[in-house]
A and B are shown apart, each in its own frame.
Chain A
Amino acid sequence: MKLIKALFSIALTLVLIWALQTKFGDIPPIGEFLNSVSGFWQNAESKNFQPDENLHLEGLQGKVTVRFDEHRIPHIFAENDHDLYYVQGYLTARDRLWQMDIQTRSAAGRLSEIVGPKALEVDRYHRRMGMTYGAENTLKGIMKDPTMKMVIEAYTEGVNSYIHHLSKRDYPIEFKLLGYAPEEWKPINCAYLLKLMSETLAGGSDQFAMTNDLKRFGAKDVNDLFPDYPFHEDPIIPVGTKWNFKPLPIPKPSKDFIALMTDTIRPRERVPGIGSNNWAVAGSKSASGYPILANDPHLNLTFPSIWYQLQMSSPTVNVYGVSLPGAPCIVIGYNQKISWGVTNVDADVLDWYQVKFKDNRKNEYWYNNKWNKTTKRVEVINVLGRKPVYDTVIYTHHGPVVYDNISQKPKEGHENIPVGDALRWIAHDESDEFMTFYLLNRGKNYDDYRKALTYYTAPAQNFIFASNDKDIAITPNGKIPLKFKDQGKFIMDGSDPANDWQGWIPYDQNPTVKNPPRGFVSSANQSSTDQTYPYYINWRFELYDRGKRINDKLKVMQNATIDSMRLMQMDNYSMRAQDVLPSMLRYVDTSKLNPDQLKVFQIVKKWDKHFAANSVGASIFNAWWLKFYDMVWDEFKDDKVLLNVPSFDRAEKLLLTEPNSKWFDLKGTPAKETCNDIVLQAFVTAADELLKSMGQPGKKWEWGNVKDTHINHLANLPGFGTGQFYAGGTGAVINALRGGNGPSWRMVVQMGPQVKGYGVFPGGESGNPGSYYYEDMFTTWRDGKLNELLFLQSPDEKSNRIKSTLTLSSK
């Protein structure tokens, strides 16, 4: 009896311990997570600065000194390049290990391994889009180049050196929460980060929707509503810039394309508003006589921040800027001689091809008038708590057939992926983008900048440049396919070789401009060039609004300083409001408004066109415009078929120049509406909705309250983000802050004998929610201020901003 009691008690204790160690569904292993010995409590970092430290790490070749400033930004001084990238990897892992793990895991389609079947569709999507295939090819490209091979391997060694002596209690909190352990870093993970960037910036497509539009409305309407050059535009390369090269012959349009366009046959959504700003003013426009460069890339804002700030110095380089956690080198930054930045080009580098298979085995497909062999790639997806999933992906010479039958396509999401079509995507190609950054980090002048760009493949970026030689330049750059006009605007016939990409635009013929007479260069994702550029890059770019505002301001700017650039980055002026609001106001017959609506009307009439946080007019205009836009394109509402809706720009043209257009007529009403009716109706509906949801105009109506601005933790963990905060800005103004997307790094660099950099990102260096450096830069960023960046010239330079030193040497 006593024995049974004892055994029962022991069994109960063991079951209790087991239960506390086990993950049930989404509930973390509670004992593992909470216990004070190795659980999350151990992740709480003291607010006091760590004292000076000495570490001996295997594999280092010399001595490395790292100085940390008050934001705990590392300033690395290494005796050789191997050690420099080793320590970049080591420190990035120390601050951002979980972020590095989860981002590359996601790109590689390996989330199911840690969270189970609920991530299976996401993983399948990434596998089937060829992310792994592309990363493998890119790694090949990197490893062919001895310099980049050394860089990637040293970085990997550094990350692993950190992981190797990590005890359980030191695991980042997210590992404890999800109940898994960090794994060895591999060189391919660095390539996955590039793929992730390509997915974000050049991974959307609207060809499926455009093809559906074509079937429904015909070529005439589609050509009218989706023009190849917008109504409002102010291109990146100034209008009239001469092209001083002899272009390659442009490929001839394929037969089916011509047929498509002349109506003889009828055969992931792109996220609008992704973008960034950069500009550089020449010395002639600056107070100091030297160029100033500014850049603010707009990306999803998360904690930990997408960027990791650091200074990297060795005998071959001394550079400051931001890097991507998990990838070597500085991506956006400056050194003593040059500064550079990037915005997205939005080149069409992703195309879909209809595939005709011989039979259901899909071993052969029709191309160039004969049957060709497909290849098959088996993707093995390991799933937590289940058997692995084997997913076979068919490849034609174009690339993977993402969903070869409808049953493979998930019921929700990825509506923009056509079934049965092969994907040709630049992200699948062998490439070596890190070389571009490696060279820019060491760049001394314009020629070095131009040379660095030739190594860059994707996602194509507008590389802006300023130097101490007083040169400024901008180049929409990447490996851009040589295409006939509008090639890839719609899904193409994959059996005709004329539809294949026919080569590449030579790098020295990518659009570029150096020291233009206007005294500045800029980009905000608008059209790369005017219509005289001989090559086709894409039929649509981002709206011109931000670009136009930047150019308007820079045109009249004199004696520019760091502060004038900073204020410009925070500018909330709406070009759209300037373009359309006067006409919209004119169309409203105020005698038809009730007193409440009239009050609302008076506010928007007096509005100063700034999307400021405290602006009520901004909230009204925004609601009004969106309502107008929806009503104009009511023909494009369809629950069953994915259609592409014409752009804001096209709606503006309609409003300003075609008041009697057929598109104003609402489908559901017997009356024939005109522009006049729609503008008024849109206003009344918008005003009534605002009144109904928020009562009389007041505090609640302020744009900063209406707009939901927030920064979430990468895994959307409650309490780990900022929650909603009050802020101005919107998608089409320079300060493009909206929802959880916006300026992810604001940088301004004053060139000169003593180059001076300023910058800030929303968040902090540490990825640990239990660190004082998790979000210590957030308020500075939110309030539109910049930190002066500490650019040390030697490891011994004295500065009262240096708070601690880490000395590293080999074992």
Chain B
Amino acid sequence: MLFLLILILSFICSYFLPWWAAAAIAFLAALFVGKTSGKSFWSGFGAIFVLWIVLALVKSIPNDDILASRVIQLFPLPHQWVLLLLTTALIGGLVGGMAALSGILTKKAFKK
């Protein structure tokens, strides 16, 4: 539920808001519908992780991954562009997860 909510809202917002808006969405979503800290974190993490993989692939597949294959060479990583995709998704996931966790913890702090 929380996972889907964050995923859908972040997806819609990605067209007109900056990337870190995903954090605000995850925070608010967890604040309102979050249940436990663990579930909230992983919902936020998973939603942004998946969303960013999808958004990246939507661009990269019609491009035959030529850009990703160039950009990976800027990083001290093996020259496999998939690693770039994972790094991207991990960063997004971490931000989403942390934001959702903050949301649920805030909710708990104010609930007697």
Closest A-chain residue to B64, C-beta based? Answer: A47
Contact among B60, B88, B98 for A34, CB-based, below 8 A:
B88
Asked if B23 and A36 make an inter-chain contact with CB atoms under 8 angstroms apart, the answer reads no
Let me know if A21 is at the binding interface, CB within 8 A. Answer: yes
Asked if A47 and B63 make an inter-chain contact with CB atoms under 8 angstroms apart, the answer reads yes
Of A4-12, A83-91, A114-122, A236-244, the stretch lying at the interface with chain B is A4-12
Asked if B70 and A41 make an inter-chain contact with CB atoms under 8 angstroms apart, the answer reads no
Asked if A9 and B98 make an inter-chain contact with CB atoms under 8 angstroms apart, the answer reads yes
Let me know if B32 is at the binding interface, CB within 8 A. Answer: no
Closest A-chain residue to B73, C-beta based? Answer: A719
Asked if B102 and A41 make an inter-chain contact with CB atoms under 8 angstroms apart, the answer reads no
Asked if B108 and A13 make an inter-chain contact with CB atoms under 8 angstroms apart, the answer reads no
CB-CB under 8 A from B109, the residues of chain A are 2-3, 5-6
Q: Which residues of A1-40 have CB atoms within 8 Å of chain B's CB atoms?
A: 2-3, 5-6, 9-10, 12-13, 16-17, 20-21, 30-32, 34-40
0 or 1 for each of A31-57: is its CB under 8 Å from B? (1 = yes): 110111111111111111000000000
**Number of chain A interface residues as a range:** 35 or more
Closest B-chain residue to A774, C-beta based? Answer: B66
Give the shortest distance, in Å, between B83 (CB) and chain A (any CB): 12
Q: Which residues of A713-756 have CB atoms within 8 Å of chain B's CB atoms?
A: 717-720
Let me know if B2 is at the binding interface, CB within 8 A. Answer: no
Closest A-chain residue to B60, C-beta based? Answer: A44
Asked if B91 and A34 make an inter-chain contact with CB atoms under 8 angstroms apart, the answer reads yes
Interface centre among A12, A16, A34, A720 (most CB of B within 10 A): A34
Q: How far is the CA of A717 from the CA of B95 in the complex (A)?
A: 28
Give the shortest distance, in Å, between A167 (CB) and chain B (any CB): 9
Asked if B56 and A719 make an inter-chain contact with CB atoms under 8 angstroms apart, the answer reads no
Q: How far is the CA of A45 from the CA of B59 in the complex (A)?
A: 7
Asked if A17 and B105 make an inter-chain contact with CB atoms under 8 angstroms apart, the answer reads no
Count of B interface residues, CB-CB < 8 Å:
43
Asked if A31 and B19 make an inter-chain contact with CB atoms under 8 angstroms apart, the answer reads yes
CB-CB under 8 A from A35, the residues of chain B are 19, 52, 88, 91-92
Let me know if B36 is at the binding interface, CB within 8 A. Answer: no
Give the shortest distance, in Å, between A115 (CB) and chain B (any CB): 16
CB-CB under 8 A from A16, the residues of chain B are 94-95, 98
Extra contacts, 18 of them, besides A36-B92, A37-B19, A770-B66 (Cβ < 8 A), are: A10-B102, A10-B105, A13-B23, A13-B27, A13-B98, A17-B95, A35-B92, A36-B14, A36-B59, A37-B14, A41-B55, A41-B56, A44-B60, A44-B66, A46-B63, A719-B69, A720-B73, A772-B66
Give residues in B with beta carbon < 8 Å to A: 14, 18-20, 22-23, 27, 51-56, 59-60, 62-74, 84, 87-88, 91-92, 94-95, 98-99, 101-102, 105-106, 108-109
What are 20 inter-chain pairs, A to B, with CB distance below 8 A? A2-B105, A2-B109, A5-B105, A10-B27, A12-B98, A12-B102, A13-B95, A31-B19, A31-B91, A34-B84, A34-B87, A35-B91, A36-B56, A39-B88, A40-B67, A45-B63, A45-B67, A47-B63, A769-B67, A772-B66
Give residues in A with beta carbon < 8 Å to B: 2-3, 5-6, 9-10, 12-13, 16-17, 20-21, 30-32, 34-48, 168, 173, 177, 717-720, 769-770, 772
